[in-house]
Amino acid sequence: MTSSQMDVAADLLALLHDTATERRVDPQLEALTLAVAADLPVLLWGEPGIGKTAALTQLAAALGLPLTTVIASVHEPSDFSGLPVIGDDPAVQGVPMAPPDWAVRLARTGRGLLFLDELSTAPPAVQAALLRLVLERRVGALRLPPGVRIVAAANPRSSAADGWELSPPLANRFVHLQWRHDHDVVVRGLGGTWPLASLPRLDADRLQEAVVFARRAVCGLLAARPALVHRLPNDEARRGGPWPSPRSWEMALRLVAFATAANTSKDVLSMLVRGTVGDGPGLELLASMDRMDLPDPEALLADPAAARLPERGDLRQAVLDGVVEAVRRRPERSRWDAAWELMARALEGGAPDLVVVPASTLAALRRADWDVPASIERLAGVVSLSGQADQAAKRVRAVAEAAR
């Protein structure tokens, strides 16, 4: 091929690489950019060839960050822990651990995106050397500047060349995101237009509120469920993924704060939280956050006529359970009557079975000198629908008959 033909070939390649971007709803890309904004290490899991590397290349370009790619599996442990360099007087000055050239370039630039590729093919010794890099941003004696973000990619062991499971200490330092291809995104991208990767827009007026909300959400759940603070999975494969520990809960708290300040969708927050502490604990946190927006039971008991109950069935039942618990803690006749009024309102605007358990429990709290409110007549039939509440149903009917 002549020199001129090489130039023509270069022009054609340039045209093929000349692509545009568009704003498009892409939850996994949004989750990735939010975790990067929160300065948390991210690990993208996905089958080979689905675009993990391309997504990182595009992300770096969109954020204006220089991309440094390091293939973890082809490096020695000393490449991350540092190479010993003998100085003039080792007995006095010691032996410093010199960082590799890519770390020095990142430190000089002051900012960048460090991409650790093929992480699941790195042997255990290399994974151990990566611990300080991922958590402390240290490579030998060099500390990477705050402007450097870390993203890694890995293939499942079943599709990785000589793959290893991630060690639990290394896995617990990442936000794990399952990376899947979207047919429409791929078609649009091959046509020359890819989704725009951009950092989330944080509302400066909501920062304090976001921190308070995140701390309340995480601390409230862990106070009620202490067993979730640290739970190392028994299965080796699950140990290489997200699981709850004080470290990962701290990461989850940061992500909740960022998601709140950015008004992120629940789908994106779900991906991030479950990718940090695991599916079970993550879903419990999301459910408890839903309940944080529920009305205060004391406010409902103070003015049941003005009460507005949630439309969603699970949230409505949670409110009723909270009302009954409030009456149990401070049993007074006026509060008991107000609770029955709330039960009747819940029956009017929702499924009857949601009232069965709280109504049965509320009936059992009656004192002998308390008159029965008229609203209990309608509820007596509802309670009798539950096979497991037969005894409570008899109590409700007896109370209703005594009131006649």
**Over the stretch 206-250, which tens digit does the pLDDT of each residue have?**
999 999 999 999 998 898 889 999 999 998 888 999 999 999 999
Cα-based distances in Å from 211 to 39, 126, 299: 16, 36, 25
Stronger pLDDT, 377 or 62, i.e. the higher one = 62
> Which amino acid is it at 355?
V
Give domain 3-85+95-195's CATH architecture: 3-Layer(aba) Sandwich (3.40)
pLDDT at 386 over 50: no
pLDDT at 375 over 70: no
Measured CA to CA, the distance from residue 239 to residue 313 in angstroms comes to: 35
Q: How confident is the model at residue 404 (pLDDT cuts 50, 70, 90)?
A: low
pLDDT at 276 over 70: yes
Question: What three-state secondary structure class fits 200?
Answer: coil
Q: Which of 187-196, 232-241, 388-397 has the highest mean pLDDT?
A: 232-241
Stretch 292-306: mean pLDDT: 85
Measured in whole angstroms, the distance separating CA 8 from the mean position of its chain's CA atoms is: 48
Under a CB-based contact definition with an 8 Å cutoff, are residues 118 and 153 in contact?
yes
Q: How confident is the model at residue 390 (pLDDT cuts 50, 70, 90)?
A: very low
Element containing residue 383 per DSSP (H, E): helix 376-383
Structure tokens at 144: 């990477």
Measured CA to CA, the distance from residue 82 to residue 74 in angstroms comes to: 15
pLDDT at 257: 96
Stretch 61-66: mean pLDDT: 85
- Of 74, 11, 353, 40, the residue nearest 176 (C-alpha): 40
Q: How confident is the model at residue 346 (pLDDT cuts 50, 70, 90)?
A: confident
Stronger pLDDT, 369 or 382, i.e. the higher one = 369
pLDDT at 396: 57
Stronger pLDDT, 118 or 382, i.e. the higher one = 118
Stretch 389-403: mean pLDDT: 55
Under a CB-based contact definition with an 8 Å cutoff, are residues 132 and 173 in contact?
no
pLDDT at 387: 42
Name residue 114's beta-bridge partners.
Answer: 68, 150
- Which one-letter DSSP state was computed for residue 60? H
Under a CB-based contact definition with an 8 Å cutoff, are residues 211 and 256 in contact?
no
Measured CA to CA, the distance from residue 216 to residue 279 in angstroms comes to: 20
pLDDT at 252: 97
pLDDT at 271: 96
Q: How confident is the model at residue 382 (pLDDT cuts 50, 70, 90)?
A: low
The average confidence (pLDDT) of the chain is: 84
Measured CA to CA, the distance from residue 148 to residue 136 in angstroms comes to: 12
Each residue's pLDDT tens digit, 5-57? 888 998 899 998 888 877 777 888 899 999 999 999 999 998 877 777 778 88
Measured CA to CA, the distance from residue 281 to residue 222 in angstroms comes to: 10
Dmax over Cα atoms in the chain, in whole Å?
A: 106
Model's pTM, two decimal places? 0.73
Measured CA to CA, the distance from residue 271 to residue 176 in angstroms comes to: 9
Q: Using the structure block, give the residue that is written with the tokens 């402390």.
A: 136
Stronger pLDDT, 156 or 3, i.e. the higher one = 156
Stretch 342-349: mean pLDDT: 81
Question: What three-state secondary structure class fits 80?
Answer: helix
**CA-based Rg of the chain, rounded to a whole angstrom?**
29
pLDDT at 313: 80
Under a CB-based contact definition with an 8 Å cutoff, are residues 143 and 182 in contact?
no
Which range is least confidently modeled, 47-51, 117-121, 284-288? 47-51
pLDDT at 391 over 60: no
* Alpha helix positions (H), 167-312: 168-171, 183-190, 207-224, 236-239, 246-261, 266-277, 279-292, 297-302
pLDDT at 388: 39
pLDDT at 272 over 90: yes
First to last CA, the chain: 104
pLDDT at 50: 77
Measured CA to CA, the distance from residue 72 to residue 358 in angstroms comes to: 56
Stretch 266-289: mean pLDDT: 94
pLDDT at 60: 87
Domain borders along the chain are 3-85+95-195, 204-292, 297-402
